[in-house]
A and B are shown apart, each in its own frame.
Chain A
């Protein structure tokens, strides 16, 4: 079956002319048409455009061009601007917004010949951990449709888990790639802050946002990462550093690799979760890796720190949605203030408003020092402790999430419990570190992930470790029942 093959295998088939990109794209479009009405993973499918792009990819190949993504279909998270296609960011605010340009990530993958099949559902403005805050309705987890797929990149994760696409893009501000990857049994990587351009990616929290990939395996993710990454002069925070050949480095042996076990991740870890992480560690040890205990005493400050920094930035980033130049504008405003109030009041959902208000509060005169400045100090402490840890170990390993996927509706009315879902993932964002989640087993028939965190720009090492792990295990090849 085409949809169970790896990106490498599909590229080989395309190169050998066993299939065309148009045929491959049709196959996945048919799966979207069949499964998505219940999954709700896509906000805007773009089948006609996909077939046109696939035809172009086939022509490029006929003209002698080659490339690991030439003619491979994908789905973009609806946070990336796509020229001529609605880019909603999961919000009523941008329901009518057709982007007039391509995000750098979109342009790079297009240049590599990847074929866009549509835009994935997501939590509104990427604010959420369950994909329930989307204006377009919750996404269902293909492993159990009563459960959430995680968020905010829930649509991308569910689509790859259900094999509606060979890969999908996502963004990760506090865990928005790794958490849904874990909860849907796929591989997800959030690169180092600055590795992938943020240009054209609608900002949630600029100092934390980073684009990444969902794919069944680390080997597939490595191919996509190589195409997406690199310096972009239009993003001042992107880093001008050569992009390694990630696929070429996948097979390096793990002998001697020093894996750090974070005390703060293992203290109080739920038993079955702990057993899965322990089993994953055994696999790494069997591959020659060594382990060492590591402690980051400030890491428990991650969640409160994040929920000051991220809302502060979002409260300012989302000010441009004012009803003046694009997006939602209320009916018949009576004056300017009325237009602002109602356009924003009606255009944004509850979680977005909660964060804008929190952020406005922590930046206000009289509160700035106690909240924003203090959070920046905590962030610096956490970053310093990670740096010190990476002087002793090559990678850190731990769980991605505290629990498997929870029920749709179970936590949506309790923001604090919802926020605690990101307890293991937020640290990497605060420190700007690359991190990856790979499938490592099941609890109650629901997938779980093991998280690897590396020092800055150690994406190759993360992908290499995950790939060797996946050569020794088959968790990543499991497909939810009904989607085979």
Chain B
């Protein structure tokens, strides 16, 4: 049935900006402080107080805009979104409505088949977060924690360009990577620093007009985005196919039950009565400011991946993985600079292979790696100069990881140095041949497969330290009756 329907998805991503103070007050934004310990009179909306815009939040918004190649508005307006809720102290949220700071931009996602797709970003605007209502442990009462009230948010609104839950997740991950690259958001989804609302609709494939959409609120993990969309798509298709109609409404995803539930319909939606906030002047951004932000931009993920691919002759896949975060890219480049660019592919294999799985196993970030770039480069040098084989190197790496020692120390301590003395290897081969006359006879009678048997025996006798290339050559000669 699925092939009859086309899924249309747009995301509204809320990224908390990593400013030290709030967007309109001087209160701190640290997560996890005791309730209401980070809410000043402005955040509490005391009579007479006024908002003052945090310039750092504007800088971060502009950074994002430049990161997606968007037009930065020279003049944007803060508006009030009016509604009553206990965790919204002023009775309105200061947001941007008709004139946002970041205009249209776009970015690229990579699809499963390796092709790329462009996703449009309609706009991104600055706004303040609300507080939190707490219900647990309170009898007949609700608690209000206003620590989060006034935390700066960048709301990033996409075009309805995504056609599957996978694409939506790829897009969200791309934005996630970008905001962390730009150091404008810590990206911590458990703490709610990065979350999204998904607008989902379906239409018969080929139809131009969009179907009626439902908005799924407040999804705070990539997995939930994927599952919520899957559920919602199935629900809508089933509804339509059984003769029903999708209604425009806001829905909530329940991750315990893996389903979405209706929160409120369009008819019940608030009339927010947006109007320009008279307490704040229009935000004016001049070209010099934009230039200064542009000059401060780091290398962006796509740029880094392209450079890695070109400079180090890596595959697009490897380049993409290694540039997924600034820290990983820096680690990799540091290894390459020590090991030499000609060994970049080897470095890439190790960073993406042994190192990544060790990090994953111990649940560590790249910045917490037990093997520093210099140490890894030291290990690679021993592979390159054939002191050890790749196989032994894995053993050495594990020892480096657990003992925190350098490659050479491990190699020496464990006596793992590769045997490259042709005489020594030849002596071992001679002994092995002498000990296995039957196998020798069979080999010479045409059983080529037995070559592997002899390699194994020699490796066993040298504890894997024989240089494999030399071993191959010598063994071949000796088995054929050479000297």
The answer on a CB contact under 8 Å between A320 and B47 is: yes
Residues in A with CB closer than 8 Å to B49 are 199-200
The answer on a CB contact under 8 Å between B91 and A319 is: yes
Is there a chain B Cβ closer than 8 Å to A139's Cβ? no
The answer on a CB contact under 8 Å between A100 and B144 is: no
Is there a chain A Cβ closer than 8 Å to B92's Cβ? yes
Q: Which of A291-313 contact B (CB under 8 A)?
A: 312-313
Complex Cα–Cα for A322 and B89 (A):
9
**Contact partner, B278, options A206, A319, A322, A360, Cβ 8 Å:** A206
Residues in B with CB closer than 8 Å to A80 are 48
The answer on a CB contact under 8 Å between B51 and A99 is: no
Complex Cα–Cα for A30 and B293 (A):
62
**Contact partner, A99, options B47, B279, B280, Cβ 8 Å:** B47
* Stretch among A39-47, A229-237, A246-254, A263-271 lining the B interface: A229-237
Is there a chain A Cβ closer than 8 Å to B45's Cβ? yes
Given A81-B48, A199-B48, A202-B48, check contact A236 B280 (CB 8 Å): yes
The answer on a CB contact under 8 Å between B271 and A365 is: yes
What 0/1 pattern do residues 25 to 65 of B give for CB contact below 8 A with A? Answer: 00000000000000001001111111111000000000000
Is there a chain A Cβ closer than 8 Å to B304's Cβ? no
The answer on a CB contact under 8 Å between A319 and B48 is: no
The answer on a CB contact under 8 Å between B47 and A316 is: no
What 0/1 pattern do residues 66 to 95 of B give for CB contact below 8 A with A? Answer: 000000000000001010101001111000
Is there a chain A Cβ closer than 8 Å to B273's Cβ? yes
The answer on a CB contact under 8 Å between B86 and A236 is: no
Given A233-B52, A319-B92, A326-B46, check contact A364 B271 (CB 8 Å): yes
The answer on a CB contact under 8 Å between B41 and A316 is: no
User: Closest CB-CB distance, B87 to chain A, in whole Å?
Assistant: 9
Q: Which of A53-101 contact B (CB under 8 A)?
A: 80-81, 87, 89, 94, 97, 99-101
Residues in A with CB closer than 8 Å to B310 are none
**Contact partner, B48, options A203, A312, A313, Cβ 8 Å:** A203
Complex Cα–Cα for A322 and B86 (A):
8
Is there a chain A Cβ closer than 8 Å to B281's Cβ? yes
Complex Cα–Cα for A143 and B80 (A):
44
Complex Cα–Cα for A319 and B83 (A):
8
Residues in A with CB closer than 8 Å to B45 are 320, 325
Count of chain B residues with a beta carbon within 8 Å of a chain A beta carbon: 29
Residues in B with CB closer than 8 Å to A198 are 50
Is there a chain A Cβ closer than 8 Å to B275's Cβ? yes
Given A206-B279, A234-B52, check contact A319 B47 (CB 8 Å): no
Complex Cα–Cα for A203 and B91 (A):
14
Is there a chain B Cβ closer than 8 Å to A103's Cβ? yes
Q: Which of B261-285 contact A (CB under 8 A)?
A: 271, 273-275, 278-281
The answer on a CB contact under 8 Å between A320 and B273 is: no
Complex Cα–Cα for A5 and B258 (A):
79
Chain B residue at minimum C-beta to C-beta distance from A89: B47
Among A99, A206, A319, the one with the most B-chain Cβ atoms within 10 Å of its Cβ is: A319
Residues in A with CB closer than 8 Å to B50 are 198-199, 234-236
Given A236-B52, A340-B84, check contact A97 B47 (CB 8 Å): yes
Count of chain A residues with a beta carbon within 8 Å of a chain B beta carbon: 45
User: Closest CB-CB distance, B25 to chain A, in whole Å?
Assistant: 10
Is there a chain B Cβ closer than 8 Å to A207's Cβ? yes
Given A202-B48, A360-B273, A363-B273, check contact A319 B84 (CB 8 Å): yes
Complex Cα–Cα for A325 and B46 (A):
8
Residues in A with CB closer than 8 Å to B274 are 363
Complex Cα–Cα for A315 and B89 (A):
15
**Contact partner, A316, options B52, B92, B142, Cβ 8 Å:** B92
User: Closest CB-CB distance, A352 to chain B, in whole Å?
Assistant: 14
Complex Cα–Cα for A207 and B50 (A):
12
Complex Cα–Cα for A236 and B76 (A):
15
Given A101-B41, A313-B278, A363-B82, check contact A81 B92 (CB 8 Å): no
The answer on a CB contact under 8 Å between A324 and B86 is: yes
Is there a chain B Cβ closer than 8 Å to A397's Cβ? no
Complex Cα–Cα for A365 and B274 (A):
9
Chain B residue at minimum C-beta to C-beta distance from A324: B86
Chain A residue at minimum C-beta to C-beta distance from B52: A236
User: Closest CB-CB distance, A363 to chain B, in whole Å?
Assistant: 4
Residues in B with CB closer than 8 Å to A328 are none
Complex Cα–Cα for A87 and B41 (A):
15
Is there a chain B Cβ closer than 8 Å to A336's Cβ? yes
Given A100-B46, A236-B50, A316-B82, check contact A363 B275 (CB 8 Å): yes
Residues in B with CB closer than 8 Å to A390 are none
Complex Cα–Cα for A463 and B281 (A):
29
User: Closest CB-CB distance, B173 to chain A, in whole Å?
Assistant: 36
The answer on a CB contact under 8 Å between A316 and B84 is: no
What 0/1 pattern do residues 16 to 46 of A give for CB contact below 8 A with B? Answer: 0000000000000000000000000000000
Given A207-B278, A236-B53, check contact A316 B273 (CB 8 Å): yes
Residues in B with CB closer than 8 Å to A234 are 50, 52
Among B46, B47, B142, the one with the most A-chain Cβ atoms within 10 Å of its Cβ is: B47
Residues in A with CB closer than 8 Å to B278 are 205-207, 237, 313
Residues in B with CB closer than 8 Å to A386 are none
Is there a chain B Cβ closer than 8 Å to A424's Cβ? no
Complex Cα–Cα for A89 and B53 (A):
27
Binding site for A on B (CB under 8 A): 41, 44-53, 80, 82, 84, 86, 89-92, 142, 144, 271, 273-275, 278-281
What would be 7 A-B contacts, judged by CB atoms less than 8 Å apart? A87-B47, A201-B48, A202-B48, A206-B278, A325-B44, A326-B47, A363-B275
Binding site for B on A (CB under 8 A): 80-81, 87, 89, 94, 97, 99-101, 103, 198-203, 205-207, 233-237, 312-313, 315-316, 318-322, 324-327, 336, 340, 360, 363-365, 368, 372
- Besides A202-B47, A206-B278, A236-B281, 15 more A-B contacts (Cβ < 8 Å) are A80-B48, A89-B47, A99-B46, A199-B49, A203-B48, A205-B278, A235-B50, A236-B280, A237-B278, A316-B91, A320-B45, A320-B90, A336-B86, A365-B271, A368-B275
